[in-house]
Amino acid sequence: MMTPELRNWYLSNLGIVQYQPKGEEPVSLSFQAPSSGEEASSVVYSAKEDVASILKFVDKAKNSTSQATEEPVFESKPVSVIDEVMSFRLACWQPCDDLLVFNQFPLGTNPEPEELQLLSNILRAIGRLPDGLPAPELIDWPMSHGGETDEPAARSMLSVFLDARITKRGVLWVLLMGDVATKLLSPSEKTYAESVGVIEEIAGGAKIIVVRSLQEMLKAPDAKAETWQAIKSLADRT
């Protein structure tokens, strides 16, 4: 059995500070060399047991101290990130060589007869309907073949489409009708409401004109006059 004095001596040599009750003096251990080999063997064996006992005590003390000082670790719950999928349909018309028109529609729907009639009247007023209104090209997003579905990807796809029309077909004017077309094709950081009526140059030398959508103009007739103010300058550039 290890005495308290021997335990304190081992702990002191291992660098473990022991606090003693007030008034208790440390005990000095005196060792004498054993007189015979048998006694020496007994002492060595006893010492090994004592060291093993002390090391177990030290490990237990360190673990206890570590647990007491270690800050609690709280498991963080995984954050569920849901990517917002953008969906739209843009109808695109090129009624003449220098003009391209975009108007938004809900996915799966086609322009109504009254919307087509309104667009024809607008284009005829600015001299951009030489042969009647052509069938629109419908651009659906997300695209059917899969891939990325976020807004930057939609912008990139439409930018390539528009650039090809400007460089290969000589488009000089782009009429953006409605907030979706404006948000995705206008280089401006202005809101849709702030952009209505604005004419701005884009890459390739063409210019965009932002106006209300066909649906908005049919619901609010006053918006037709606003659109005319924005596009009437084109009538002099036929």
CA distance 192 to 174: 16
Confidence of residue 236 (pLDDT cuts 50, 70, 90): confident
Residue with structure tokens 């951009």?
Answer: 128
- The residues of the chain that CATH labels 3.40.470.10 are 88-237
Which helix or strand (DSSP H or E) is residue 175 part of? strand 173-177
Q: How far is CA 112 from CA 91, 93, 118, 182, 183, in A?
A: 12, 15, 10, 21, 23
What is the rounded average pLDDT of the residues 165-180? 97
**Among 155, 123, 118, residue whose Cα is nearest residue 139:** 155
The CATH class given to the 88-237 domain equals alpha beta
Show the CA angle centred on residue 127, arms to residues 124 and 128, nearest 5°: 80
Residue pair 162/174 in contact (Cβ under 8 Å)? The answer is: yes
Residue 1 one-letter amino acid? M
Tokens found for residue 170: 């000589």
Q: Is the pTM of this model over 0.75?
A: no
**Among 106, 182, 177, residue whose Cα is nearest residue 141:** 106
pLDDT tens figures, 29-62: 443 444 444 443 443 344 445 444 544 554 554 4
Predicted local confidence at residue 151, as pLDDT: 93
pLDDT tens figures, 58-117: 455 445 544 544 554 434 433 333 345 689 999 999 999 999 999 999 999 999 999 999
Compute CA 186 distance to the chain's CA centroid, rounded to the nearest angstrom. Answer: 22
**Among 179, 152, 3, residue whose Cα is nearest residue 83:** 152
